[in-house]
């Protein structure tokens, strides 16, 4: 299994943190070094490893662990979250009518995967069919038909036809009554122009809802360039990693996922049609780390975080005028606005704050519609304490993670950060005024 010994070595490094409440750079370096070693051994791309290490390091050192959380739990949570982010979500595969095309090199496990996936869909109550278009490999037809029989699913192929596009066309017609059509394609020893041209023609004929790239887990760094070529030819929506039962590697497949900006759909773990697993990032990482209690642990940390937020009675708007304007401040403002009505009206109700002062604010500073406010609340609930306190640490990868966690589009998260910046700037103007200026302004307004 990928990163097989990561759990063991990481546990050793994490155990050194036991009993500590503060983490220093040396501790974090030790943990990060173990992770790097395991990932590189599993063939994970060096750039990926580096960016993962950076995220873990900066989060472990910059973010404040919630009260009552040990250093060990905190670092483990960060490692877990960042690894989940590295492998990404599972490829979206709605249980509905669809056509899926499989691509990949010869021997990667396409034909086997087609049957496995068909079996998997059949266990979900759908009626799948396999369309076998591999006219190059002698025996592909027989192998595929036999596996389809074993999986007890519909099958279409034509051993006497040598035009794969024609087989694809006729196969689609013949399997019209199926819910899910899985189109298997030919592979070659290496990617060449002929294969690319052929798969492009099949793709045009079939017009699949999804293209999945099938990769042997043992394939090393070359998975990356292969994925790029398939991506350019037909576009790849997801990756199936096969033969995970026989290797401790698999990192090459992660590079392929990264390269195609796609996700992992399935894992192949054996030669029979039932040896397939839907990819689940949480379970996958928990298993990699060899920590069954990980979910419990993350829940414990989460509860501590919530408690910290509930204890927020000491939140004082005065602080906001004095120091940093955090996302907590913005959240509190928004909550207050929710309770009181639109901010402009609220400001109107406060003596001395009506009229004039609103004109001094940028037009869109208060332009937070109710729908956006609701989204912002959900997004902020998905952010860590460190991010709330210091939204500047939120970069591209965190935006992606928060989007996944909150179920809101990345665009919304950027809007939230923009809104925060704008409010912060506005406040800074007031802060910069000094008491005398403020008094003068108040007097003017009261006249």
Q: Is 88 annotated in some ligand binding site?
A: no
- b/e map of 28-66 (b: 16 or more CB within 10 Å)? beebbebbbebbebbbbbeebbeebbebbbebbeebebb
Query: Which residue has the CB atom at the shortest distance from ligand GDP?
Result: 268
51 a known binding residue? no
Residue 55 interacts with ligand GDP (CB under 6 A): yes or no: no
Interface with ligand GDP includes 249 (CB under 6 A)? no
| Interface size with ligand GDP, residues (CB under 6 A) | 18
DSSP label of 314: G
212, 183 in Cβ contact below 8 A?
no
Taking the C-alpha atoms of residue 102 and residue 285, their distance in angstroms, rounded to an integer, is: 26
Is residue 226 close enough to count as binding ligand GDP by CB under 6 A?
Answer: no
Please tell me whether residue 352 binds ligand GDP under the rule CB under 6 A: no
Q: Which stretch binds ligand GDP (CB under 6 A): 122-130, 164-172, 222-230, 270-278?
A: 270-278
186 carries a ligand binding annotation: yes
Q: Is 144 annotated as a binding residue?
A: no
Considering the complex, state which of residue 56 and residue 240 has its C-beta at the smaller distance from ligand GDP.
240
The residue range among 222-230, 243-251, 300-308, 411-419 that interacts with ligand GDP, by the rule CB under 6 A, is: 243-251
| Residues 91-120 interacting with ligand GDP (rule: CB under 6 A) | 104, 106-112
Q: CB of 7 within 8 A of CB of 289?
A: yes
**Residue whose C-alpha is closest to residue 277's, from 253, 252, 244:** 244
- Positions of E strands within 165-256: 180-184, 210-216, 238-242
Polymer length of the chain: 447
Neighbours of 204 (CB within 10 A): 11
133 binds ligand GDP (CB under 6 A): no
> Contact region for ligand GDP (CB under 6 A) — 9-17, 76-84, 265-273, 412-420?
265-273
272 contributes a contact to ligand GDP by CB under 6 A: no
Of the candidates 37, 9, 15, 36, the one whose C-alpha atom is nearest the C-alpha of residue 27 is: 15
Q: What is the three-class DSSP state of 197? A: helix
Instruction: Report CA-CA distances (Å) from 63 to 7, 54, 155, 308.
Output: 24, 13, 54, 14
Nearer to ligand GDP, 3 or 379 (CB): 3
Q: Is 185 annotated as a binding residue?
A: yes
13 annotated binding-site participant: no
Can residue 218 be called a binding residue for ligand GDP (CB under 6 A)?
Answer: no
Helix (H, G, I), strand (E, B) or coil at 125: coil
175 to 204, contacts with ligand GDP by CB under 6 A? 187
Least gap, CB of 239 to ligand GDP (angstroms):
14
CA gap 183, 172 in Å, rounded:
9
Pick one of 242, 247, 406, 419: the residue that binds ligand GDP (CB under 6 A). Answer: 242
Q: Which two tokens stand for residue 423?
A: 């409010």
Where do the H-state alpha helices sit in 104-221?
110-123, 140-151, 164-174, 193-206
User: For residue 275, which of 283, 266, 288 has the smallest C-alpha distance?
Assistant: 266
328 is in an annotated binding site: no
Task: Say whether residue 25 binds ligand GDP (CB under 6 A).
Answer: no
Of 13 and 219, nearer to ligand GDP (C-beta) is 219
How far apart CA 67 and CA 49 sit, in angstroms, is: 30
Determine if 24 is a binding residue for ligand GDP (CB under 6 A). no
Q: List strands edge to edge, sheet with 263-268.
A: 154-156, 128-132, 180-184, 98-103, 210-216, 238-242, 263-268, 276-278
113 is in an annotated binding site: no
* Residue 233 CB, nearest approach to ligand GDP (Å): 17
Helix/strand/coil for 100: strand
Is 80 marked as a binding-site residue?
no
Q: Does 271 interact with ligand GDP (rule: CB under 6 A)? A: yes
246 binds ligand GDP per the rule CB under 6 A:
yes
> Between 111 and 231, whose beta carbon lies closer to ligand GDP?
111
| Between 108 and 331, CB nearer to ligand GDP | 108
Residue of 15, 64, 200, 245 that binds ligand GDP (CB under 6 A): 245
- Structure letter (DSSP) for residue 90: B
Q: Is 188 annotated as a binding residue?
A: yes
91 or 112, CB closer to ligand GDP? 112
Would you say 238 is a known binding-site residue? no
HSE (side-chain half, CA atoms, 13 Å) at 223: 29
243 is in an annotated binding site: yes
* Member of 181, 210, 243, 420 binding ligand GDP (CB under 6 A): 243
Rule CB under 6 A: which residues touch ligand GDP? 104, 106-112, 187, 242-243, 245-246, 268-271, 275
Q: Which residues are annotated as a binding site for GTP?
A: 104-111, 184-188, 242-245
| Residue list, annotated binding site | 104-111, 184-188, 242-245
């Amino acid at each position: 299994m990928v990163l097989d010994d990561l759990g063991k070595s990481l546990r050793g490094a994490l155990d050194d943190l036991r009993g500590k409440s503060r983490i220093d750079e040396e501790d974090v370096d030790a943990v990060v070094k173990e992770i790097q070693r395991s990932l590189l051994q599993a063939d994970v791309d060096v750039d990926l490893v580096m960016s993962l290490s950076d995220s873990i390091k900066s989060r472990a050192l910059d973010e404040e662990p919630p009260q009552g959380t040990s250093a060990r739990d905190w670092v483990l949570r960060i490692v877990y979250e960042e690894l989940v982010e590295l492998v990404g979500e599972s490829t979206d595969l709605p249980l509905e009518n669809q056509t899926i095309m499989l691509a990949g090199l010869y021997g990667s496990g396409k034909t086997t995967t087609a049957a496995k996936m068909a079996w998997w869909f059949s266990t979900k109550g759908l009626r799948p069919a396999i369309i076998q278009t591999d006219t190059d490999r002698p025996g592909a037809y027989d192998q595929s038909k036999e596996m389809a029989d074993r999986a007890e699913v519909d099958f279409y192929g034509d051993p006497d036809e040598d035009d794969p596009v024609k087989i694809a066309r006729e196969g689609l017609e013949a399997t019209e009554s199926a819910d899910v059509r899985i189109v298997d394609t030919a592979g070659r020893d290496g990617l060449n122009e002929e294969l690319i041209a052929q798969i492009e023609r099949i793709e045009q004929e079939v017009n699949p809802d999804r293209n999945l790239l099938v990769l042997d887990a043992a394939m090393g760094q070359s998975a990356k360039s292969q994925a790029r070529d398939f991506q350019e030819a037909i576009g790849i929506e997801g990756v199936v990693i096969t033969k995970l039962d026989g290797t401790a590697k698999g990192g090459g497949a992660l590079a392929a996922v990264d390269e195609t900006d796609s996700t992992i759909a399935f894992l192949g773990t054996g030669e029979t049609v039932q040896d397939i697993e839907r990819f689940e990032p949480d379970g996958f990482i928990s298993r990699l780390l060899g920590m069954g209690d990980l979910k419990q642990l993350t829940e414990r940390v989460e509860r501590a975080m919530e408690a910290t937020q509930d204890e927020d009675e000491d939140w004082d708007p005065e602080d906001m005028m004095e120091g940093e304007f955090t996302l907590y401040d913005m959240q509190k403002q928004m909550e207050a606005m929710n309770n009181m009505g639109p901010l402009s009206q609220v400001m109107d109700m406060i003596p001395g704050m009506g009229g004039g002062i609103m004109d001094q604010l940028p037009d869109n500073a208060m332009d937070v519609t109710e729908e956006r406010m609701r989204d912002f609340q959900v997004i902020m609930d998905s952010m860590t304490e460190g991010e709330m306190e210091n939204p500047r640490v939120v970069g591209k990868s965190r935006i992606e993670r928060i989007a996944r966690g909150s179920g809101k589009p990345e665009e919304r998260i950027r809007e939230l950060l923009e809104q925060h910046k704008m409010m912060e700037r506005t406040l800074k103007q007031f802060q910069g005024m000094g008491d005398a200026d403020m008094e003068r302004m108040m007097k003017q307004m009261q006249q």
